[in-house]
Amino acid sequence: MSGWGTPSRTVTLGRVQPQSPALRTIYCNHREANFAHRYKGNSISTTKYNVFTFLPKGLYEQFRRVANLYFLMVSILSATPYSPVHPITNMVPLSLVLLFSLIKEAFEDWQRFQNDMTINNSLVDVLQAQGWESLQWKKLQVGDIIRVKQDGFFPADLLLLASTNVDGICYIETANLDGETNLKIRKALERTWDYVTPEKACEFKGEVQCEQPNNSLYTFTGNLVVDNQTMPLSPNQILLRGCSLKNTDYIVGTVIFTGHETKVMMNSMNVPSKRSTLERKLDKLILALFSTLFSMCLLGAIGSGIFIDRKYYYLGLSQSVEDQFNPSKRFLVIILTMLTLLTLYSTIIPISLYVSIETIKFIQSSQFINKDLNMYHAESNTPASARTSNLNEELGQVEYIFSDKTGTLTRNLMEFFKCSIGGEMYGTGMTEIEMGVAERKGIKVQEAKTSTNSLREKGFNFDDVRLMQGAWRHEPNHDACKEYFRCLAICHTVLPEGEETPEKIRYQAASPDEAALVLAAKNFGFFFYRRTPTMIYVRESHVEKMGKTQDVSYEILNVLEFNSTRKRQSVVCRYPDGRLVLYCKGADTVIYERLGTGNDDLNKVTRVHLEQFGSAGLRTLCLAYRDLAPDLYESWNEKFITAKSSLRDREKRLDEVAELIEKELILIGATAIEDKLQEGVPNCIQTLSRAGIKIWVLTGDKIETAINIAYACNLLNNEMKQFIISSETDAIREVEERGDQTEIARFMKEEVKKQLKQFLDEAPQYFCSPSGPKLALVIDGKCLMYALEPSLRIMLLTLSLNCSSVVCCRVSPLQKAQVTSLVKKGARKITLSIGDGANDVSMIQAAHIGIGISGLEGMQAVMASDFAIAQFRFLEDLLLVHGRWSYIRLCKVVMYFFYKNLAFTLTQFWFTFGTGFSGQRFYDDWFQSLYNVIFTALPVVIVGLFDQENCRNMGLFCSVSISSLLLLRISFKFNEQGFRW
């Protein structure tokens, strides 16, 4: 978390949990001092039960179901002397159902237990008496100093003290944490670099003051106190449990958080529980059946009270010792007969219904969805995965789809495609979006010819002879080109890997965008080949003279990191000649706000280029720089170090300090990166639209980019009537220039309200006419912020529900979740959210069904989802094949269950009229009890798994009917000797 009581702005796998305002104090290498704080041990348990709680908790879970609770009541009634059936015949079926469910629960929990035992008993080297001793993970305690070797996993959340690499750095892989396979760099504080050997580590007696345990994966606030010297700690010194050590012989660290207080374990909690609509309706149907049962029993009981009369003296009822048949106690006869008939008609509610449906759903998900070759992605070797079997039939009822764009509709394989440098546009290619726009206008597009000297590399798809192979030196703006390429090569957090040659080096980047920009710098002759925590090494070509190459080292003084609030990244570096420069790259809106005066012509031309790039569907960033005077930098750096050392609101203070230096920037140019559409996306969207499903795209891109992507995806077309609500209007810009935030908010809210009202008045004339055009709504994030306010929310919902397509641009992760919840609650229809990144987690959890794309942005979305697929186009099979079949089959199973049980029970009910409402059995005890559990169990499951519309399984239904008739005949055999009173 960023502070005490302030919610984290980073995206986590679950919901950020509140933490105690108190600090945690840890005494390194001092178990006795830490013992007083009673920190949790490092043993973990992911099981739902233990030996003592399995039976009570397991039974509680089973009896939360209405049907099981009902049959428990019936079993208790059957043990009374007024029951017409033996109590065992009711208890055995209930016991079988409960036993089946409990065995399933126990098996799943035993697997969790075995996995926990394997992890808890893993070995790690712990410092003991001036030497390393192997101990089990579960015996680790807070404050212990441990050693983790290369390729080993971190057993707890650790503070990195020392590493065998130079400058105390190490490389870690976080695939088990967030699915990202790229390596990340961590660096120990310089004060602790010496504690590599056990002899030196024994001398370490530091004290860590840090935040309380929380589940924010990418933040950490704390200080290390050694010999009365206080040093700030950041996430760069923290090694999280579950990550592994790479490219480093070993590291030495001290344990900060253990067991269930580690960040990865705290993220495994609070997953929202989702129940399908069918399951909720099933509970209501069972209650309705119970009402029917009660009515039948009440009718029979009243009939019994009337039938028991003194005129039937020949029956000898007045001499009966049983109160149930005593004519002088009619009210008591009605009550007791009511209890008798409750047990007699109990089969009207199917005892095996839940078990059968669970079995069907489990097989549907594990055998049909997970093993469907039509949803298998060969390139990444990724099959579809049903992470829960509760929502299979829900897939067949989806009416609204909320989709992310990048990595979901597009491939998330970024390629450097075009650029703008010093007011000049470079790049001759044509994007897929431009081709789609041209085709829509009827313009024939010829494939562009690439130049003979153009280079092709994954991540670099740029073609312009004016910049390649040093030709940029002959450009009028060659100084701007040089700054542009250096900014690309220096302003990033990319890690190089492999041999230091342009052909064999590999770049590990936090995002595909960053890797594409560094690749572009390499292809332009500015080859970034090595980095340390304080230096970046670049091999520059053609700078001083054509054909000449030189290695230049840049000292990295400060890194102002990118986050969703800042939307920019900056690096302060020192050239070999002492020049101090701040390089900054970020979103155009953010960079333009921080540009200095002058260069208005360049700024206007570059803005035009940005609009052209956006119209072509390209992702854009602006590059800028600022020369810093040494005294200005020194005074600012003191504030930066102070903010970095603060324990409270550290992120907020760092952002405030960054604002002091990220101003008076000089614009260099802009980058344009292409992210191509995934294969089959337009056809999939068209098919889903024909099926009556409305698709919404929620993206952080500019409005022009989002609209053109929507055209390329068949989400929008020229026949549609588009309603556009944008904050990029002259009137709004004019108000924003005045800078009065209160006036801006008031004016924008009025503008949004006016546009919503205008479109609501205009919409009926289009959708009232059968031949009228379909409607589409496009709205950006600023306007959406006001449209989601309570006073305007209903207007937005009404308008959007009448639109076939909705595109929301420049939206934040929170707004994605808010829009999803608005439609989920307002429309009362089944919603589905699909995304691939951490910023989509809240949207995925807000919808009825969450789909995660196994993409390049890690596994956060998949871990929060209900189903996981590798490509958007697989949604067509998942919804229209598996979802539809699951829904139809399960509905038939429910109707089949109720039909066979009503037929079975109504026969008994009709028989009661011929027995004087005395509650005599029509069927044998065991046949009545095992009718659902054994005799008719398999046919229902078969229908739920294999029923299809083209064959209707007539043979199956015939066999069921014949078997039922045979079973009825057997039951008559039991009663041929007459009725027993």
Q: Which residues are annotated as a binding site for ATP?
A: 404-406, 514, 562, 585, 619, 699-701, 810, 816, 839-840
Rounded CA-CA distance 895/902 in Å is: 10
| Residue 619 bridge partners (DSSP) | 673
Give the three-state DSSP class for 943: helix
Read off the amino acid at residue 108: E
Query: Which of left, alpha, beta for 259 (phi over 0: left; psi -120 to 50: alpha)?
Result: left
- Cα–Cα distances in angstroms (integers) from residue 399 to residues 385, 402, 472, 523, 557, in the given order: 22, 10, 53, 47, 53
Rounded CA-CA distance 600/92 in Å is: 86
CA 284 from chain center: how many Å? 31
Name the pairing type of β-strands 830-835 and 849-853.
Answer: parallel
Query: Which of left, alpha, beta for 867 (phi over 0: left; psi -120 to 50: alpha)?
Result: beta
| Count of C-beta atoms within a 10 Å radius of residue 567 | 15
Q: Per-residue b/e over 408-429, b at no fewer than 16 CB within 10 Å?
A: bbbbbbbbbbbbbbbbbbbbbb
Residue 107 neighbours by CB under 8 Å, 6+ apart: none
Which residues make up each annotated binding site for Mg(2+)? 404, 406, 836, 840
Rounded CA-CA distance 403/836 in Å is: 10
Residue 278 neighbours by CB under 8 Å, 6+ apart: 393, 394, 887, 890, 891, 894
Structural tokens at position 776: 């589409």
Rounded CA-CA distance 113/451 in Å is: 62
For residue 969, the surrounding DSSP H or E stretch is helix 954-974
Rounded CA-CA distance 446/318 in Å is: 103
Dihedrals phi, psi of 165, to nearest 5 degrees: -80, 160
Dihedrals phi, psi of 125, to nearest 5 degrees: -80, 125
Structural tokens at position 274: 């989702």
Count the residues in the chain.
981
To the query of whether residue 404 is one of the catalytic residues in this protein, the response is yes
Helices and strands (DSSP H and E) totals, the chain: 32, 33
- Which is the catalytic residue, given 125, 157, 404, 947? 404
Read off the amino acid at residue 154: F
Question: Rg of the Cα trace of the chain?
Answer: 35
Q: Are 831 and 398 in contact (CB under 8 A)?
A: yes
Print the SS3 string covering 647-714.
CCCHHHHHHHHHHHHCCCEEEEEEEEEEEEECCCHHHHHHHHHHCCCEEEEECCCCHHHHHHHHHHCC
Read off the amino acid at residue 339: L
Burial class (CB in 10 A: 0-12, 13-18, 19+), 851: buried
Pick from 520, 622, 533: nearest CA to 570: 622
For residue 158, the surrounding DSSP H or E stretch is strand 157-163
Opening angle at CA 658, ends 737 and 225, nearest 5: 155
Q: Are 618 and 417 in contact (CB under 8 A)?
A: yes
Helix runs in 386-454, H state only: 432-440
Read off the amino acid at residue 981: W
Helix runs in 254-326, H state only: 263-266, 277-307
Give the three-state DSSP class for 565: coil
Pick from 933, 974, 919, 961: nearest CA to 343: 919
Rounded CA-CA distance 656/766 in Å is: 50
Which residues make up each annotated binding site? 404-406, 514, 562, 585, 619, 699-701, 810, 816, 836, 839-840
Structural tokens at position 385: 């995965």
Residues catalogued as catalytic: 404
